[in-house]
Structure 1
Amino acid sequence: MNSNSQSANTPDTYSQRLADIVGTAIALVTLTLPVFIISHYSSPNVQNYQQNLTYHLTRSQK
């Protein structure tokens, strides 16, 4: 067996590196895009929309 011959299973380093870069880019977009979308569409002036319930009671005349 010749020790300086290349193996048949030598990975293509360019395609492996490209796959790593593309995978990292997809992961970053997946993690950051929802945060940017939520911050873009959320209002900076968040108001409390709870209504104060007031009851006006009148006395009946007898």
Structure 2
Amino acid sequence: MNSNSPSANSSDTYSQRLADIVGTAIALITLTLPVFIISHYSSPDVQNNQQNLSYHLVRSNK
């Protein structure tokens, strides 16, 4: 970096700060929104619909 270069002006730092805030907000929404949507649409009384499988074997007496 050149030591003679002027420092970043205030509008550049403001836009960079705004971009950081917007990016953080998008990241938080992306991570938390699916969890809230899934919890909203999932039923609180989930029934266990597993069926017992039983096989009746017939022996042949030959």
Q: With the length of structure 1 as denominator, give the TM-score of the two structures.
A: 0.67
CA distance in 1, matches of 2:31, 2:19: 18
> 5+ residue gaps in structure 1?
56-62
Larger radius of gyration: 1
Q: With the length of structure 2 as denominator, give the TM-score of the two structures.
A: 0.67
1:14-44 deviations in whole A, cap 9, x for unaligned? 1011001100000000000000000001000
CA root-mean-square deviation: 2.8
> 5+ residue gaps in structure 2?
56-62
Identity percentage of aligned residues: 80
Query: Could you say which residue in structure 2 is the equivalent of 1:25?
Result: 25
Aligned length: 52
Q: Which has the higher helix share?
A: 2
